[in-house]
Structure formats: C-alpha cells, structure tokens
Amino acid sequence: MGDTNLTLHPDNHKKGNKISKKKYDIIRASILTCLEAQPMMSYTDMANCVRESLQDKFDGSINWYVEVVKLDLEAKHIIKRISETRPQLYKLTS
C-alpha cells in the first residue's frame, strides 16, 4: 500500500491515525506555510487556507486530513494551541 505515517495525538490517551505519508507531507507543508503567512489562525481559517492552496490538487477530505495532521503537529510541539482565545488560535512554536 505504500508508506504510511502513524500520527500522534496531543492527548496521550487517544490513538493517532495511520495515513499515507505522501498525504501527510502535503497537508503538513500546507499547514506550516499557512501559519508562516499568518502567525495566528483559527482552525477554520487554517482549514480554509489549506483547502485554497490544495484546490483540485488533493484527493480526499481536506478537513479530515487537516484535523489529523494538526493534532500530530500539536503532539510534536511544532504548533501550539492558544486555548485562552475564542475561537482557539494556533501558531508555530518557533
């Protein structure tokens, strides 16, 4: 089936998801590019940014992949959720 990636979840008690490494890399790069362009984003803005950048170039539910990869990036401390904001915002850790 090709290379897969087992994602992590910031809540260590929850399981990650096994997804295609190629799709993981595409979504990850797009999320990071979006957060570099706009240092703080809501989940909705992030998903919209990724969807716009990958329009007609990605096969699958972009929203689902954004959520799974976002959680993995949070668990790896690459992005951070600012929980005291409403809506919650996300930013690169450094």
Tell me the three state secondary structure of residue 64: helix
As a whole number, mean pLDDT of residues 85-94 equals: 91
Report the predicted TM-score, pTM, of the whole model to 2 decimal places: 0.92
Question: Could you give the angle at the alpha carbon of 88 between the alpha carbons of 51 and 11, nearest 5°?
Answer: 90
- Is residue 7 one of the residues assigned to a domain? no
Q: Provide the CATH number for the domain around residue 85.
A: 1.10.10.10
As a whole number, mean pLDDT of residues 17-37 equals: 97
CB atoms within 10 A of CB 13: 5
Q: What integer pLDDT is reported at residue 49 of this predicted model? A: 98
- Is residue 4 one of the residues assigned to a domain? no
Q: In 3D, which of 22, 29, 86, 90 has the Cα closest to residue 60?
A: 22
Contacts 24+ apart (CB under 8 A), 36-42: 36/92, 39/91, 39/92, 40/82, 40/89, 40/90, 40/91, 41/89, 41/90, 41/91, 42/87, 42/88, 42/89, 42/90
Number of domains into which the chain is organized: 1
- Is residue 38 one of the residues assigned to a domain? yes
Could you list the residue range(s) of the whole structural domain that residue 48 is in?
18-92
- Is residue 2 one of the residues assigned to a domain? no
Residue 92: pLDDT over 80: yes
- Is residue 6 one of the residues assigned to a domain? no
Q: What integer pLDDT is reported at residue 85 of this predicted model? A: 85
- Is residue 28 one of the residues assigned to a domain? yes
